[in-house]
């Protein structure tokens, strides 16, 4: 059976790239290569940026009405829904994520494009009540320019939509840089962009390694905005590169999100929340609730409930409908988890469940439950990006809040309690960009998404995100019939 091969999509054309470099993508479920893809060089990056800049100046895109832009986004949303099964299957084969999630998530991101399609002609300026006579002053919002959108492999369609939707609605041109790990669904998506009828150069999709692709892209002098999702260390390089072009930058990074369970919580709901936050997506989520803070009186009971539920988890082929946990995307994740668990055990942690990779082909890690002896336990500090849940007890509300905030991250958080006053009180005191109460890992195009501290800055989704892809212009019109006054005095 022939393996699929994916080309780069630049300036409305499909290309093998200037150097002919090819990489292979491995199916995490089998540990075998299943597809190949072209890689971008600096020359290809320059071509993508040049075509994006040309698109901004082209009447076909520049003069398109905001309503017409919205209609293109509506069309793209329809195509995504129609092709959700195909894209989901490709993403699952490429990254190991469950087919049930990739297909449903792909279909749902159509609503993100619809949301921003509806906002496209709601980008408004204002007439200012200026404090000077004979002056009419107003503001207008204009596309920020050429956007570099850098998307990781773990939730590609969702994390693309939160960048591309508002950027296109605002009238920008975008270069989507897919991860060199599992980029295939992004190239399938590029086919839909082409089919939707966006003018050439408005969207390009490329991938490649850091020296040849990511670095030239993020430091390119014609990049006006960088929207990055990934790890903190890579983000530091992105920020340094942006010093070369002063591009406006937003960062959506990782986390060690706390889930606080109080003794009055519904334990069925709380255990499902902990499982969703740790074993959902095989733990490969930036908002994974990998620090479970449990009120001491219910710790042992909650551990037993989780162990009982975990005994029914089906680990296997992510393409199968009954699978709950599939393989991890890379072998490196397995190695990180093994090393972290070894250190945690040396620190006094107890492994109640799992704790080792499965002895079979593919990158399979058993769902793991760790009871931590203290706050410095390694599993409470390292973002492992795998199905590892760490629990630690607390005695008071203030202690729980202190433990929750005792991290350099601040992306997600969860609170499980039936006391509504406590829910409000505690959620307000947790330093994180998102707080779920009696639920976990829910998203919507209407709700802003982003973090505090080393989890990044800027927000994706919601109404304000579209304004981040615009610049404000202020226009002054002198309405006086008299000649302009003294030119040597500021008015």
Whole-angstrom CA distances from 419 to 261, 262, 416, 436 are 12, 9, 9, 14
How far is C-alpha 257 from the geometric centre of its chain's CA atoms? 15
Identify whether the C-beta of residue 330 lies closer than 8 Å to the C-beta of residue 28: yes
Q: Which of 229, 223, 195 is nearest to 76 (CA)?
A: 195
Reference 123, options 458, 449, 460, 471; nearest CA is 471
Joined tokens for residue 106: 């792909």
Beta carbons within 8 Å of 112's beta carbon, 6+ residues apart? 158, 161, 162, 165, 445, 461
CA atoms of 245 and 99, how far apart (whole Å): 40
The alpha carbon of residue 452 and the mean position of all alpha carbons in its chain are separated, in whole angstroms, by 15
Cβ–Cβ under 8 Å, residues 391 and 370:
yes
Q: Tell me the longest C-alpha to C-alpha distance in the chain.
A: 87
Contact 134, 480 (CB under 8 A): yes
Cβ(369)–Cβ(389) below 8 Å = yes
Residue 286 among the catalytic residues = yes
User: Are the CB atoms for 94 and 30 separated by under 8 Å?
Assistant: no
Identify the H or E element spanning 27. strand 22-27
Query: Looking at 252, 378, 383, 460, which residue is catalytic?
Result: 252
Q: Residue 461 is encoded by which pair of tokens?
A: 């989704």
> What three-state secondary structure class fits 138?
strand
* Given 39, 172, 213, 286, the catalytic residue: 286
How far is it, in rounded angstroms, from Cα 33 to Cα 25?
6
* Separation of alpha carbons 28 and 328, rounded Å: 6
91 is catalytic: no
Tokens of 316: 């296997």
The answer to whether 167 and 147 have CB atoms below 8 angstroms apart is: yes
Q: How far apart are CA 445 and CA 449, in angstroms?
A: 9
Strands (E), 277-338: 291-295
Catalytic residues, which ones? 252, 286
């Amino acid at each position: 059976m022939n393996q699929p091969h994916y080309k780069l999509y630049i300036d409305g054309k499909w290309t093998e790239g200037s150097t002919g470099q090819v990489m292979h993508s491995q199916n995490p479920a089998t540990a075998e290569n299943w597809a190949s893809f072209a890689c971008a060089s600096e020359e290809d990056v320059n071509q993508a940026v040049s075509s994006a800049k040309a698109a901004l100046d082209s009447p076909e895109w520049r003069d398109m009405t905001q309503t017409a832009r919205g209609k293109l986004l509506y069309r793209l949303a329809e195509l995504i829904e129609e092709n959700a099964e195909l894209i989901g299957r490709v993403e699952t084969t490429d990254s190991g994520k469950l087919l049930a999630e990739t297909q449903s998530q792909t279909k749902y991101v159509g609503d993100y494009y619809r949301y921003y399609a509806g906002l496209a002609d709601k980008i408004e300026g204002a007439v200012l009540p200026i404090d000077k006579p004979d002056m009419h002053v107003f503001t207008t919002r204009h596309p920020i320019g050429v956007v570099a959108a850098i998307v990781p492999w773990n939730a590609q369609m969702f994390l693309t939509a939160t960048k591309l939707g508002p950027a296109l609605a605002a009238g920008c041109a975008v270069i989507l840089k897919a991860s060199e790990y599992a980029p295939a669904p992004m190239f399938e998506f590029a086919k839909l962009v082409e089919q939707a009828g966006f003018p050439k150069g408005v969207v390009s999709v490329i991938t490649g390694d850091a020296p040849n692709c990511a670095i030239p892209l993020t430091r390119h002098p014609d990049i006006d905005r960088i929207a990055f999702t990934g790890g903190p260390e890579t983000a530091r390089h992105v920020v340094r590169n942006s010093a070369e072009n002063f591009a406006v930058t937003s960062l959506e990074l990782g986390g060690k999100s706390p889930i606080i369970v109080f003794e009055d919580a519904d334990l069925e709901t709380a255990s499902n929340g902990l499982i969703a936050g740790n074993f959902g997506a095989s733990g490969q989520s930036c908002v994974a609730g990998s620090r479970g803070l449990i009120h001491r009186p219910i710790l042992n009971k909650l551990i037993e409930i989780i162990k009982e539920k975990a005994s029914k988890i089906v680990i296997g082929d992510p393409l199968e409908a009954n699978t709950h946990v599939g393989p991890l995307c890379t072998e490196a994740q397995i190695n990180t988890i093994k090393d972290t668990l070894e250190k945690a055990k040396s620190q006094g942690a107890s492994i109640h469940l799992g704790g080792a990779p499965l002895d079979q082909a593919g990158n399979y890690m058993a769902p793991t439950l760790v009871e931590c002896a203290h706050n410095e336990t390694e599993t409470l500090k390292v973002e492992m990006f795998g199905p590892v849940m760490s629990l630690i007890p607390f005695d008071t509300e203030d202690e729980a809040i202190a433990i929750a905030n005792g991290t350099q991250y601040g992306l997600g958080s969860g609170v499980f309690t039936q006391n509504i006053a406590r829910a409000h009180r505690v959620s307000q005191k947790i330093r994180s960009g998102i707080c779920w109460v009696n639920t976990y890992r829910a998203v919507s195009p209407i709700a802003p998404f982003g973090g505090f501290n080393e989890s990044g800055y800027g927000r994706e989704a919601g109404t304000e995100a579209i304004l981040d892809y615009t610049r404000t212009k202020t226009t002054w019109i002198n309405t006086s019939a008299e000649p302009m006054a003294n030119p040597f005095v500021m008015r």
